[in-house]
Structure 1
């Protein structure tokens, strides 16, 4: 069974959140450190997929005043607000790093199991034997927002997408990060959250507590609560200042 550190961060800026995720991927690739991180956002933030054009945001007025960042992963834009966000970074030696579609499926099915315990009929888009996800090159003809798109393996409840994830690879390691839309945001009022769709209130802490043992079993991973190493914090600060906090990076497309 793989040992994986568990990092639970308080709400922070979008710039730092993206920098931490990149550092976790680097640590997985360079030092074979596996990490699962849960995090949130100190203010509603709009993240663009890696390949999205920054000019596309003008068509979404509700998020117009949100700070803007660009993710390392592809896919549609996400309004990070009333959600629980996770990232899972696994080194090349881990079997899941070479089975990317299986990783999507097992992570999402483990959360679906939790929801079904509540009588919530969530499922995978495309069924539980969902095939390959669309590539990033399809973005041009897709809706602006991630949660208005559908890819094989997304978590859906009725007509509503409630969980979306994306991956980034680096030197054989893989980072999968995703958002669980817990409640509707004023900055994306067209999207129903899990609480509205399921008809019951879901809190981030409760979802984490119940999901962790299911994730552990699904991925055959043991989680141990830790924090970033000092040198990782230094790298996070560097990336936040020199990359994710720079308009040149955010507006590169």
Structure 2
């Protein structure tokens, strides 16, 4: 999270071009949205018991268990050519690369668009703290089930969008890290989750490798945004900046438990 913020800062200052980044998490980590209330939504005892990492994201949205997944982030100025001004339409443009990536892997993915009043109401006031409980505007679904979740923030004239692309899903681990108002509510979520969320490897006999996914989604972004991707490495000073930001912000209780 510190690196994503640092990339946003450097891009805002004109020091680096737009960035597309792919990464994994070690250990598996629960990230919560910027506006979420930790003690209301999260079972911290089980987070510790399962030896998971825990961090608050700079972006909004609901909690995500980053486990068997590929995470992406896109850092680009709001004034980038043909970038829509509205958040939902910017999601659509940026997420086109993810959509094409799924299709390159042979999955029939498409964008979700809320169609009923109930779906629109759920977007405004989510029923649960679980990110993969329901798809929102222009998120990716396969066979009607959410397969990738994204979140966005805009700071210093720059858009930061990042998202989780599920390769596999441990439903019991996911359910264990949330608070529910009752055992009945947890059981309802247990039954509902397989109908709402799905992992990529559930559609294939041979599991996708991380390398396959990075290549497919990289090519998806190239094609969707008509761009070339050039490898980028941090300088020693940049690495020190990220390390300092991690120590003073994302590694602190003040940031992670502030709400």
TM (norm. structure 2) is: 0.78
Query: Gapped runs of 5+ residues in structure 1?
Result: 1-17
Sort the Cα spacing of 1:242 and 1:231 in 2 relative to 1 into closer, same or farther, 3 A: same
2:19 matched to which residue of 1?
A: 35
Q: Which residue matches 1:24? A: 7
Q: How does 1:163-182 map to 2 (within 5 A)?
A: 163-182=148-167
Give the counterpart of 1:84 among 64, 70, 88: 70
Q: Which piece of structure 1 moves more, 239-248 or 150-159?
A: 150-159
Bigger strand fraction:
1
Alpha-carbon distance in structure 1 between the residues aligned to 2:173 and 2:162? 21
Equivalent residue for 1:213? 219
> Based on CA coordinates, which of the two structures has the bigger radius of gyration?
2
Which residue number corresponds to residue 157 of structure 1?
142
Tell me if the contact between 2:63 and 2:131 (Cα under 8 Å) persists in the aligned partners: yes
User: Which stretch shifts more, 176-185 or 107-116?
Assistant: 107-116
Structure 2 unaligned residues grouped into runs of 5+: 176-192
- Paired residues for 1:1-253 under 5 Å: 18-31=1-14, 33=16, 34-55=18-39, 56-58=41-43, 65=50, 66-95=52-81, 96=83, 98=85, 100-126=87-113, 138=124, 141-185=126-170, 187-188=173-174, 192-197=198-203, 200-253=206-259
Q: 2:181 is matched with which residue?
A: none
Q: Helix, strand or coil: the match of 2:43?
A: helix
Displaced runs of 4 or more, over 4 A: 59-64, 197-200
| Alpha-carbon distance change, 62 to 247 in structure 1, aligned in 2, over 3 angstroms | closer
Q: CA deviation at 1:243?
A: 0.5
User: In angstroms, what is the RMSD of aligned CA positions?
Assistant: 2.9
Distance, in Å, in 1 between the alignment partners of 2:6 and 2:23 is 15
Contact 2:96 2:220 in 1 (8 A): no
For residues 60 and 120 of structure 2, what CA distance do their matches in structure 1 show?
10
Does the C-alpha gap of structure 1 residues 244 and 184 become closer, same or farther in structure 2, counting only changes over 3 Å?
A: same
- Pick closer, same or farther for the CA change 1:226–1:125 going to 2, 3 Å: same
| Deviation for aligned residue 1:193 | 1.3
Shift of 1:156: 0.8
**Partners of 1:79 and 1:188 within 8 A in 2:** yes
Using the TM superposition, give the Cα deviation of residue 147 of structure 1 relative to its aligned residue in structure 2, in angstroms: 1.0
Residues 1:198 and 1:125: Cα distance change in structure 2 (over 3 Å): farther
The offset of 1:198, in angstroms, is 5.1
